[in-house]
Structure 1
């Protein structure tokens, strides 16, 4: 899925920056009026940031769909995860591109055809972006405590919130519906 082609970013821009970018003064009456050249520079920077964020989110989705070659280009060596993991961990042990790829590979081992798709357009504000997704896949077996038969189709949802720095993701907050997944796997 190409985020750029199918989904347009909705940028949540502070009122003052929005007023400068469009030349208005409604929400930012105390902000000095910018010159037309400044408007052009601000608008160009804004468009460049949007395109970069869209490209990074597109690569993020491809990474979770099994294209591990995306990781080095979008994941910072200082990348950290914040998540309530099924093994009881908090995600703090998952570091950098290699750690993320190992975690994704482990997840995909139980669901080899797991496919992530976006439910709604991504949201971005400053150095953060958030995507709401649905994952669907076929259970291959081996999930601890699962009584579902291999071949069972599962679908679950979640939201990824990511912080970007210098063109790479540096921090990741995951909120997924593990209850929905565990119920389908008959693991409760």
Structure 2
């Protein structure tokens, strides 16, 4: 499941219906000030990932340390690297700027699919590289 999750974030959207519950919810501090509650189900998640990848088309996520699994919860620490393509609100970095940032995903599984997601990412690190502060 976590391998498919990583492939999904790396742009393989065909993974979503197989691993994401229709009841899927997100808990995250979003850059637009939202809390992630508007992101629902596989379609909502794919739309959010697509929006993120629009500014970084070659964005690649990789696992930084082995995942921790406890019952129906899993947590994975990741790194992401990509090339900025432009269009990020408030960013003064030039397109072509390579960025890297880290984060941790915690997921809850139910009936063989991910149903809940908590995201902690180093947004300060990303915004600093984009000269968006």
Q: Which runs of 5+ in 2 are unaligned?
A: none
Q: What is the aligned partner in structure 2 of residue 103 from structure 1?
A: 48
Compute the TM-score of the two structures, normalised by the length of structure 1. Answer: 0.71
1:112 counterpart = 2:24: no
Structure 2 length normalisation: TM-score? 1.00
Q: State yes or no: 1:183 paired with 2:119.
A: no
Q: Which has the higher strand share?
A: 2
Asked if 1:63 corresponds to 2:8, the answer is yes
Q: For 1:91, which of 21, 36, 41 is the aligned residue?
A: 36
- Which structure has the larger Rg? 1
Q: Quote the RMSD (CA, aligned, Å).
A: 0.2
Match of 2:81 in 1: 136
Give unpaired runs (5+ residues) of structure 1. 1-55
Measured in 1, the distance between the counterparts of 2:32 and 2:92 equals 17
1:168 and 1:89 map into 2 onto residues whose CA distance is 24
Give the equivalent residue in structure 2 for 1:153: 98
**Structure with a larger share of its residues in helix:** 1
Q: What is the count of residue pairs matched by the alignment?
A: 133
Q: What do residues 155-177 of structure 1 show as CA deviations (whole Å, max 9, x unaligned)?
A: 00000000000000000000000
SS of residue matched to 2:45: helix
For the pair 1:162 / 2:98, whether they are aligned, the reply is: no
Q: Which of 68, 91, 98 is 1:123 aligned to? A: 68
CA distance in 1, matches of 2:4, 2:112: 12
Corresponding residue of 1:36: none
Shift of 1:136: 0.1
Give the distance between the partners of 2:37 and 2:114, measured in 1 at CA.
Answer: 15
Larger RCO (CA under 8 A, 6+ residues apart): 2
